[in-house]
Structure 1
């Protein structure tokens, strides 16, 4: 019966120390970690943890959202663990799957966490739309090729230069050139 910790941060710039400290205070025997988005179904640390966990072990996380970013993914993982006889505990929410109330609460909290992420995403889309309506542009990452560079790329292509040579000349990736110079599909007339 081992207590197995799992900690995850989304980017390399974030630190695991807060989660690891909480897991150590909870008395875990071993901690598995990932520096990856929770939306990824396969994460090396989580995969190792799931392979390592045995019946009657308990997986402990600092917060439920560290396990996964979607309700469906978290619930699928909890179901798999339950079928294998592996227990689960979330420190911050004070939840565990040793009783029926813990199972119900985990389902509800995971649903609310997903709702919160959906609301944030909706606000972001609304903000970008409002910015576009004010003339602030598209938002997001700037285009690699300005209109002038795109025209220059077309000129080089017409002179017989390869996509690789054009990409090198403009300091962009080869795929950027392929996308920019790809023929646009003909549109069917409206009517």
Structure 2
């Protein structure tokens, strides 16, 4: 059975192009993730890895859809190989059911990771230059009504409400809530 895997980075992107390729490649079952490929902790990826069986072939538009790091890519492909599952990447024309395909996969994965690391390094240098020129200030801090924070903080500390309720009332995520609590406590200790 041919099993397709599609990954798009954000919910705003459209998976239609990859679905057309899956149809062209004859994928009978498709798994779709709408999440970053920075690691392998993706629901559809994990489900697909548990689904494939000996004799199946995993097809993707590009191996970069499967993994962004060569280490992750090679671990996934090795795991597939151990299960007797082949791997085909349409864009790079790689077929791991052949020795040449396995060699090409290793080479392409290394090049892709090198290109990504170079891009991230250029990005870091650009941000450093922009900061030096005073043009880059980072994300704007999240504003919280201090009187509301004080009131809800007291309710939370007194045990009247739970932290989750306090977060909801202030419309803050968990990390932001605890960061604001820490700032509030530090400000009121001094």
TM-score band (shorter)?
0.7 to 0.9
2-side partners of 1:90 and 1:40: how far apart? 19
Match of 1:30 in 2: 29
Q: CA deviation at 1:68?
A: 0.9
Structure 1, gaps ≥5 residues long: 185-191
Distance 1:3 1:164, change over 3 A: same
User: Where do 5+ consecutive residues of structure 2 fail to align?
Assistant: 158-165
Structure 1 residues 142 and 83: CA distance shift in structure 2, 3 A: same
Structure 2 match to 1:162: 154
Report if aligned partners of 1:164, 1:174 keep a CA contact under 8 Å in 2.
no
The structure 2 residue matched to 1:175, chosen from 168, 174, 178, is 178
Shift of 1:170: 7.8
The alpha-carbon deviation at position 171 of structure 1 amounts to: 6.7
SS at match of 1:132: helix
Give the superposition deviation at 1:137. 3.6
Distance 1:130 1:23 in 2: 43
> What is the aligned-residue RMSD (CA, Å)?
2.8
**What's the counterpart of residue 189 of structure 1?**
none
TM-score (norm 2): 0.80
* 8 Å contact from structure 1 (residues 53, 86) kept in 2: yes
Matching residue of 1:85? 84
The answer to whether the 8 Å contact 1:7/1:16 transfers is yes
**More helix per residue: 1 or 2?**
2
